[in-house]
Chain A
Amino acid sequence: MKEYRTITQIAGPLVFVEKTEPVGYSELVNIVTADGTVKRGQVLDTSDDVVVVQVFETTAGIGRDSGVRFTGETIKMPVGKDMLGRILSGGGQPIDGGPEIVPEKRLEITGAAINPYARGSPEDFIQTGISTIDGTNTLVRGQKLPIFSGSGLPHNDVALQIARQAKVPGSEEQFAVVFAAMGITREEANYFMADFEKTGALERSVVFLNLADDPAVERTITPRLALTTAEYLAFELGYHVLVILTDMTNYCEALRQIGAAREEVPGRRGYPGYMYTDLASIYERAGIIKGVKGSVTQIPILTMPGDDITHPIPDLTGYITEGQIVVNRELHRKGIYPPINVLPSLSRLMNLGIGEGHTREDHKKVSDQLYAAYAEGNDLRGLVAIVGKDALSERDRMFLEFADLFEDRFVRQGLYEDRSIEETLDLGWELLATLPEEQLVRIDRELIQKYHPNYRKKAQG
């Protein structure tokens, strides 16, 4: 392989090389520094005169005396069955002291789009044991459902609880976890790893760690390596794979940094104009394929800067993912775990995975009614703060009390409390029964007579 010593410019993570033979767009590049270290990069722009390389690691040590080798191929990820149980760097190298991965295949990390015609319809209900998810924002296999959080909130606990408890009731299929950390602290990473080890999840996990002090640019490939691995496990080996990506905010910061280095015209708040497309190339890598056994389900985690859901990172994410679970500071302050605010939360694939044959026939209507009642009660809190409780009508007072009860009983649960879907729905009915029956306008008469505690009691004697 020819080595060039024609670097003319280095700016941020970008290296400009001249007088090369024709180099392919997106090709993998090795840069050898004076002391022999090899740094990897990728071609961002190629022409007769100059090739622009984005380096994944720090450019410290790279100078005009460094050698540049173009590998002639795009970045590939070696994958194999023995990846399960392994811990890799954010660039895909083993960092657990174990042996090199024996590759069964080398796969393109950008990942081609699944043909929409080949996609299967995601409809297998995943029970997480968390009422605010199962009951009102149901997760299904093949979905991409992010957690929108804020700094200092217990999103990691929620993600871990999901990873621990997630199951498809009545199914014994093999499943795996792919965990990709981007720019999180060593301490946070340890927290995850300790839980994985304690519960034995590590054996069926592949972990990618790009920590806060690892190169930021490397973060842009970490989720792609993780998803390439997940697709291999799912679509070639038949695993049901849960992918946890944390923290997508750090990923987006890295994108912004590269955009700035390339002197691109920035979009909203300095993030690149193509961030939607870039994020889609990550989040869309979830789903199931007709006639193929496995599935990829994604739970990306992001921290909303300033708890602002309209910030470009959560905003663009929400436009791509199939809903979002929103972790809320106010509930956290009230001491409620998991502090999930159901109002801005949503699962768009919920309707496919619930109801008769999936969960229970009353699921949809109970969920709608819980939402409506909680939303109404929650609105009244604002009013009470101004006019006091006494100015409320009797009806309003009932809804106000419902909101408190909902948070205290339905939302709040233990870190290790694993509620079945029946328990969650029955709990929902129990709370709805505190309201007069004629206020339950979202539920059909027949369902009320079948599931409402008043009738059930009568039926039982």
Chain B
Amino acid sequence: MKKRTEYRTQGVLKRISGPVVTAVGLDAHMYDVVKIGHEELMGEVIKIQGEDIIIQVYEDTAGIRPGEPVENTGLSLAVELGPGLLTSIYDGIQRPLEVLVDKMGDFIERGVSAPGLSHEKKWEFVPTVGAGDVVEAGDILGTVQETNIVHKVMVPPNVKGGKIKKISGGSFTIDEIICTLEDGTEITMLQRWPVRVPRPTKEKLNPDIPLITGQRILDGLFPIAKGGTAAIPGPFGSGKTVTQQQLAKWSDSEIVVYIGCGERGNEMTEVLTEFPELEDPKTGKPLMERTVLIANTSNMPVAAREASVYTGITIAEYFRDMGYDVSLMADSTSRWAEAMREISSRLEEMPGEEGYPAYLAARLSEFYERAGRVVNLNGTEGSVSVIGAVSPPGGDFSEPVTQNTLRIVKVFWALDAKLSQRRHFPAINWLDSYSLYLDALDDWYDREVSPEWNPLRAWAMGVLQKEAELQEIVQLVGSDALPDEEQITIEVARMIREVFLQQNAYDPVDTYCSMSKQYDMMKAIRYYADLARAAQASGATPQQIVSVRSKNDLPQIKFIKDYEPALAKIQEEMAAEFDAMRAA
């Protein structure tokens, strides 16, 4: 057998068919990044078949001809990690969109490369360890004040570590050496990490702290834990994006990575214009300062869309490694799955269900598996919570992407077109949705909200369940035919829906509702329910109970910032009205 002496990095194109091209005459490994044609378009090796190297191209291939050169860089698709990530907006392969506007104007042309981070900008590095200290992979060397967020500079996970020979504070670019080890290893603030490989951690922890989102139906009924996974499936226009944006705005994580994967350009613009104006309710700092955006819109190349979720989660893991709680929103994972399908069909692979590749389920679970609350290599604790939107064709949840996702994630927020058509927002169906974290989070709610909260929640869910049963009867005989007691149940359920569950994302106050306000609101509804039951027991008619006027003021509480006095007044009035009823 002839031994191969030379690794061939140069080849030529043999075939071009949309985003998939075939090259010959070069050697390659799977997922190597290659440069295609005279314009050096970026691509990635996705299949090797004898001499044929099959490549997905991250840019438009129009005009490219067989015979053009192909060069293998020998590297895998990686992102640049370091100071400068926050407030950035990237495309699917981490090209900063702001830089692209400078380089090529308002439209995205091809063949332009731009590094993910600025290599010129200087950052003020403050060491937290000194010469003579021994550091290991992942350990924190020092800090950079990136925005209002402190960026921790770490030993890259793939560097063995050792005794520090020299470390110096001061102003550095990400390429300058900040630390040298005894063995000669030089460390900069820049790490490159291949996106398809999870960053290592020491240990996974159990998620037992909720990610508080300020959204009543989520925090109150179907909470997600920090480091947990959730899916929001729903037909078009049912509220996936608004919910994801609400989470990006208000959830109490320290870093947010928002991936617009194959969705609308205007939605990303909306985030870009809105976030800098909004303040974190806890810290009062602009929300944009903790955010990284990835925008590979529906009309951008489909291969880069496939890459965008990996780019996003790698950035999320990097901040987790610093000890932060990170949440990642992917809108929409269906577009990612469709990108896989499109590439797979160009490869003429044997299709699985509905044309999706047979490895769809595996890819989805690998992705969600990168979520979690962990102990990092450096001993800090951090988390990545992943919330994926799913866009089922025709709104039918039985399709492969929804089904495969539900097998993995722990929280299901089922959007319902029937609710959104009634403008009941968030249009999350309270009967179909679930959270498997409830038990794990009970203690937290007990401790941090009130020991009364968990029973109150169970009571509200019970009323809603009962209402659903009663509605079936009402559909047959009308509401007047129900027994008195059930008529009151219907009324209380209506209040839970209209007062508690409905929440207007566009109202300046109602957009965010603290856990204590959620608790107070639910308690007020319960207060009415208890008075109503007592009144009924002492002979009041449902009509009398339902027409208690003061309860109609409850929805107004949502729009009032300092609501406590108003709520107290309503409750007093309720008591007075019921007293009067009993007296009559």
Q: Footprint of B on A, CB under 8 Å?
A: 22-27, 44-48, 73-74, 110-122, 142-143, 235, 264-268, 273-274, 276-277, 280-281, 284-285, 287, 289, 292, 310-312, 315-316, 318-320, 322-324, 343-344, 346, 348-349, 351-352, 364, 368, 371-372, 375-376, 382-383, 386-387, 391-393, 396, 438, 441-442, 444-445
Q: Are A351 and B338 in contact (CB under 8 A)?
A: no
Band of interface residues on B? 35 or more
Q: Enumerate the 10 nearest inter-chain pairs by beta-carbon distance, A residue then B residue, closest first.
A: A391-B478, A280-B298, A310-B394, A47-B15, A26-B62, A318-B236, A112-B107, A22-B65, A117-B97, A375-B422
- Which residues in B have their C-beta under 8 angstroms from that of A349? 266
With A74-B62, A273-B345: A116-B265 Cβ-Cβ less than 8 Å: yes
- Which residues in A have their C-beta under 8 angstroms from that of B299? 113, 277, 280-281, 284-285
- What are 12 residue pairs bridging A and B, where the CB atoms are less than 8 Å apart in the complex? A25-B17, A25-B63, A46-B66, A47-B17, A74-B63, A110-B62, A113-B107, A320-B264, A383-B475, A386-B475, A387-B477, A391-B479
Minimal Cβ-Cβ distance residue in B for A289: B106
Q: Are A48 and B15 in contact (CB under 8 A)?
A: yes
- Which residues in B have their C-beta under 8 angstroms from that of A311? 394
Q: Are B17 and A287 in contact (CB under 8 A)?
A: no
- Which residues in B have their C-beta under 8 angstroms from that of A117? 89, 97-98, 100-101, 269, 272
Q: Are B476 and A277 in contact (CB under 8 A)?
A: no
Within 8 A of A (CB), among B258-285: 260, 262, 264-266, 268-270, 272-273
Contact of B478 among A44, A111, A383 (CB under 8 A): A383
Q: Are B106 and A114 in contact (CB under 8 A)?
A: yes
Bound CA–CA A287/B108 (angstroms): 15
- Which residues in A have their C-beta under 8 angstroms from that of B549? 438
Q: Footprint of A on B, CB under 8 Å?
A: 14-18, 22, 60-68, 89, 97-98, 100-101, 105-109, 235-237, 260, 262, 264-266, 268-270, 272-273, 295, 297-300, 302, 335, 338, 341-342, 345, 351, 354-355, 391, 393-396, 417, 420-424, 474-481, 498, 504, 506, 549, 552, 555-556, 559
Bound CA–CA A186/B295 (angstroms): 42
Minimal Cβ-Cβ distance residue in B for A282: B299
- Least CB distance, A190 to chain B, in whole angstroms: 33
Minimal Cβ-Cβ distance residue in A for B338: A276
With A310-B395, A441-B552: A115-B237 Cβ-Cβ less than 8 Å: no
- Least CB distance, B249 to chain A, in whole angstroms: 15
Q: Are A391 and B556 in contact (CB under 8 A)?
A: no
Q: Are A22 and B61 in contact (CB under 8 A)?
A: no
- Which residues in B have their C-beta under 8 angstroms from that of A442? 555
- Least CB distance, B486 to chain A, in whole angstroms: 13
Q: Are B237 and A391 in contact (CB under 8 A)?
A: no
With A23-B65, A25-B61, A438-B549: A47-B16 Cβ-Cβ less than 8 Å: yes
Q: Are A310 and B236 in contact (CB under 8 A)?
A: no
With A25-B61, A113-B299: A265-B101 Cβ-Cβ less than 8 Å: no
- Which residues in B have their C-beta under 8 angstroms from that of A114? 106-108, 265
Q: Are B476 and A46 in contact (CB under 8 A)?
A: no
Minimal Cβ-Cβ distance residue in B for A390: B478
In addition to A273-B342, A284-B298, 17 A-B residue pairs with Cβ atoms within 8 Å of each other are: A27-B63, A46-B16, A46-B66, A115-B106, A116-B260, A117-B269, A118-B105, A118-B106, A119-B266, A122-B266, A266-B355, A273-B338, A280-B262, A319-B391, A320-B298, A371-B423, A393-B480
Bound CA–CA A340/B513 (angstroms): 35
Contact of A323 among B237, B270, B395 (CB under 8 A): B237
Q: Are A391 and B481 in contact (CB under 8 A)?
A: yes
Bound CA–CA A344/B236 (angstroms): 11
Bound CA–CA A441/B497 (angstroms): 12
Q: Are B559 and A444 in contact (CB under 8 A)?
A: yes
- Which residues in A have their C-beta under 8 angstroms from that of B106? 114-115, 118, 235, 289, 292
Q: Are B14 and A47 in contact (CB under 8 A)?
A: yes
With A24-B65, A287-B266, A351-B506: A276-B335 Cβ-Cβ less than 8 Å: yes
- Which residues in B have their C-beta under 8 angstroms from that of A322? 264, 266
- Which residues in A have their C-beta under 8 angstroms from that of B22? 47
Contact of B498 among A44, A119, A268, A441 (CB under 8 A): A441
Minimal Cβ-Cβ distance residue in B for A319: B236
